Every structure is written in structure tokens, then in C-alpha cells.
Amino acid sequence: GAVVSQHPSRVICKSGTSVKIECRSLDFQATTMFWYRQFPKKSLMLMATSNEGSKATYEQGVEKDKFLINHASLTLSTLTVTSAHPEDSSFYICSARDRTSGSSEQYFGPGTRLTVT
């Protein structure tokens, strides 16, 4: 149980284009999902907290107009990188917390490797 999927697993796009990454909780409902970014050999950096049915909460320094987050259902959150640039190339990981669980445990997706050329 507690499986989170991400799609796509890898994507290459050209500068100036937009890319959408999907995060789905497959066997549980998640009112809260999280989006992280990870650079090579670095730790996970929280970008934003995605709340079902409301606006996402962005961490300091993360541009909300560049990283659009939509959490339209209890099992799906999307991250859209708009007008992508090479510096946006990174490993993006989502996680989700089971709405029925009282713990803080998060279940992680397998990640999406974004390369902007």
C-alpha cells in the first residue's frame, strides 16, 4: 500500500517551453502533497505544499508564477514549470500524506528528471 506515482519519469524540453509533472497517490487519498527539488549530491529542498482545493503554500524564494501547482483532487497534484530555463534542470520529487493517518509520514514518488536544453 501507500504508493505514489509520478509522470513522466524523465523529460527533456527546450528553453522557453512549459512542462507538467503529475503526482498521484494510487491507493490512498491525500489532502496534502509536497513538491521537492533536488540537485546532484544535495538534499531535498521543499518547494511548496500542495493543498487539495486551495492554493499551494510556497517556500521562501520559490517563484509561484514559475512553478504552478494544482491539486484538484484528493489523489492528484501537478507541478508545471513555466518558461523553463536550463537552470530549472533538476530532479523533482513529490510526496503525499495519507489523510486518514495521524502520523507525519510522507510517501514519496519515484521522481522526475527534468533537463532543459
The span from the CA of 47 to the CA of 59, in Å, is 5
Q: What minimum distance in Å lies between the beta carbon of 40 and other proteins? A: 9
Closest by CA position to 69, among listed 59, 78, 58: 78
Q: Binding to other proteins (CB under 8 A): which residues in 5-44?
A: 32, 34, 41-44
Q: How far is the CB of 74 from other proteins (least distance, A)?
A: 15
Q: Which is closer to other proteins, CB of 82 or CB of 89? A: 89
Q: Are 14 and 86 in contact (CB under 8 A)?
A: no
Q: Nearest to residue 35, comparing CAs of 70, 65, 1, 11?
A: 70
Q: Which is nearer to other proteins, 10 or 85 (CB)?
A: 10
Write out the residues near other proteins by the rule CB under 8 A: 32, 34, 41-46, 49, 51, 57, 91, 93, 95, 97, 103-111, 113
